[in-house]
Amino acid sequence: MKPTKELELVMKTLHQTQRSKKQRSLAIAFTIVCSVVSSFAATSSARADDSGDNVNFLIFVADDLNKEYYGCYGNDKTASPVVSQFAKQGMVFDNAFTGMAICSPSRSMLFTGKYPLRNGAFKNHSTVYRDTQTVCHYLQALDYDVILCGKSHVGPNSAFPWTIEMHTEQPAGDPMMYTKSAMPLDQLDEYFASGNKDNKRPFCVMATSYYPHGEHPKKTTFTKDSVAITRFQEDTLENRESEARFNQAVKNGDEEFERALALLDKYELADNTVVIYASDHGRFGKWTVYDRALNVPFVVRWPGVVKAGTRSDALVSFADVLPTMLEVAGSEPDEDLDGKSLVPLLKGQTDSHHEYVYGVMTNQGIINAHVFPGRMIRSKQYKYIRNYNAMEVVERKEKEGKELTAFLRMGAEQHPNVPEEELFDMLEDPYEQNNLAKDPAYQEIKRELKQKLQDWLVAQNDFLKDESNMPILATGKQFRLDLLSHPKNKVKLPPELKNSLDGHKFYIHEK
């Protein structure tokens, strides 16, 4: 690197001060300062692409949408043609996973680079720890504008000090076509047209849609015959009519993504912006740790770097997004993060990533709350699930005379046919239909995965690292176990248990 004027001045000063110890010390101090300046210049250069401009980011997140609805994942009647076209311009990931199939924890994981138990948001409608470092802190330190454009569902404000927060708006047009607020892309247009265009600050836009999360539009452009019925449903008239409305919500979100991409083109930003498209989790399998819930659509476009029309079957995680952005921006990813940068994959330097990904399930903190926690570990071939409050666990504890609250049994009764352990060969059985947990031929594989899962629980400071610990979690009052009798609950709350937790010391997870 050519010496800067400041460096030349310091070198000259050092040469002229050899006659004096005091002057030599002063020169050395100047040299150190200059070294810091030069290091900063090198870092700034490192986070620039070949054009000399900093790389931008646009992360688009759909809400409650299984990957089976996308053309790039095999749906020939997809309601998201924009995503299908976008997929041809980048890399499609077949094995991308969120760590929890609920909105708030999934988004928090995406924004923090940490799994739910480590960042604190492991229940829905919960927040990360107040001092958690997030995408806001990391990228703002690199002089980025970090913008929330759309749905939040994360907190607290101390952990998410967005540079700009663009609030949602009511969509224009026929109100029966829309039931959710629209992404405020007009505000993003104004941002690109004004301040950003003048100061050329790099940006990271979290474009977070409300679509296609229910309720779904009452009026739709789709007919019962124009939609595909996924493997999660029976092909009935009722389901086809429901799918027609749902597909309209999918289309609404696809049109938002189209508008967001058009803004990059409008302001000549597309060539220098990494775009990631994902859904926070699956609509079917929500709250569980099955692949239909955790295996999400994930597509990356990075012009000039990612080869168009490519696919990857590497195991990747939402925790990888933040370290990826940090490396692209020229910074060393924080070693404390649970994820690791996807850059080697994106550049075609490797075809593998994680050996394992993990999943968390809790059924507390949701509308039909009950005690039924689970954890999973998944390799490319095998998945192991542990259901800690399965009926066989409850019955075993009762036989052993261990103390058991009525709420534990009620939680188990919600899932009477779910076993304590599940093991699936994901290559032979991708839909997780054949449980191998008790098959003698797979016991060594099960033992290995079970131990690795336990090691992960300890590293995450998960309360289930002690499997006898089945706490009643602190939640919002509307989600307390003794207050609700939700229509989806298979077990009704006995009258004597209503309000029985008043005065109970609820479990609050510590770091």
Question: Which residues are identified as catalytic?
Answer: 103
Helix 21-46 and helix 5-16: axis angle, to 10°?
160
382-387 and 374-378: which strand pairing? antiparallel
Backbone angles phi, psi at 148, to 5 degrees: -95, 120
Say how many CA atoms lie within 13 Å of 336 toward its Cβ. 7
Please return the burial class of 309, using the count of CB atoms within 10 Å of its CB with bins 0-12, 13-18 and 19+: exposed
CA distance 253 to 240: 20
Tokens 């003794």 found at: 482
Please state, in angstroms and as integers, the Cα–Cα distance from residue 488 to each residue in 366, 478, 485, 491, following that order: 12, 16, 8, 9
Contact 437, 419 (CB under 8 A): yes
Q: Which two tokens stand for residue 282?
A: 């699956």
CA distance 292 to 403: 35
Per DSSP, 303 falls in state: T
Number of CB atoms found within 10 A of residue 130's CB: 11
Please state, in angstroms and as integers, the Cα–Cα distance from residue 361 to each residue in 50, 98, 375, 386, 490, following that order: 44, 12, 6, 10, 19
* DSSP secondary structure of 86-130: HHTTSEEESSEE-S-SSHHHHHHHHHHSS-HHHHS--STT----T
Q: How many residues comprise the chain?
A: 511
Contact 183, 156 (CB under 8 A): no
Tokens 């926070």 found at: 280
Helix 185-193 and helix 237-266: axis angle, to 10°?
10
Say how many CA atoms lie within 13 Å of 22 toward its Cβ. 0
Helix then strand then coil, in percent of the chain rounded to 5, is 35, 15, 50
Please state, in angstroms and as integers, the Cα–Cα distance from residue 100 to each residue in 122, 274, 317, 455, following that order: 8, 25, 11, 19
